[in-house]
């Protein structure tokens, strides 16, 4: 599958806000919702997919919200992250390394120092 990058779209922040509202309405989520991925970096070309992450109190909360998330069009990929958290593994899929590389490149282009993207 070819991944197509688009120029930065200034509507992406508003799209995230709308998605976060839908998620809160569907699940009653109390955790922090973060905009993640390449669309969260202003000015950076990206796949035009708004990625977000929700912090939950307990790993079991992920399963409880699957049906609610699906009902409003979300694709649940949190199981991998929840499983990694439950086992204490920082990154079982290599996704953190990819995100770190993207963020480092964008920050370097702006003269900024690297920051650790892993949030515990």
pLDDT band at 63 (very low <50, low <70, confident <90, very high): low
Average pLDDT, the chain: 75
Residue scoring higher pLDDT (49 or 64): 49
Angstrom CA distances, 93 to 57, 67, 90, 116, 118, stand at: 23, 25, 9, 17, 13
Q: How many CB atoms lie within 10 A of CB 37?
A: 19
CA distance linking residue 116 with residue 104, whole number of Å: 9
pLDDT band at 22 (very low <50, low <70, confident <90, very high): confident
Query: Half-sphere exposure of residue 4, counting CA atoms within 13 Å on the CB side?
Result: 2
- Per-residue pLDDT at 2: 56
Q: Report domain extents, the chain.
A: 12-109
Which tens digits make up the pLDDT trace of 92-114? 455 666 677 777 877 787 788 88
């Amino acid at each position: 599958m070819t991944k197509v990058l688009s120029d930065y779209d200034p509507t992406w922040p508003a799209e995230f806000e709308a998605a976060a509202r839908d998620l809160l309405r569907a699940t009653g989520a109390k955790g922090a919702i973060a905009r993640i991925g390449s669309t969260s970096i202003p000015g950076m070309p990206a796949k035009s997919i708004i990625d977000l992450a929700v912090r939950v109190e307990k790993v079991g909360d992920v399963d409880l919200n699957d049906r609610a998330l699906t009902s409003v069009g979300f694709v649940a990929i949190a199981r991998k992250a929840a499983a990694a958290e439950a086992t204490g593994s920082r990154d079982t899929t290599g996704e953190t390394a990819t995100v770190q590389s993207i963020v480092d490149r964008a920050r370097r282009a702006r003269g900024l120092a690297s920051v650790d993207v892993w949030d515990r």
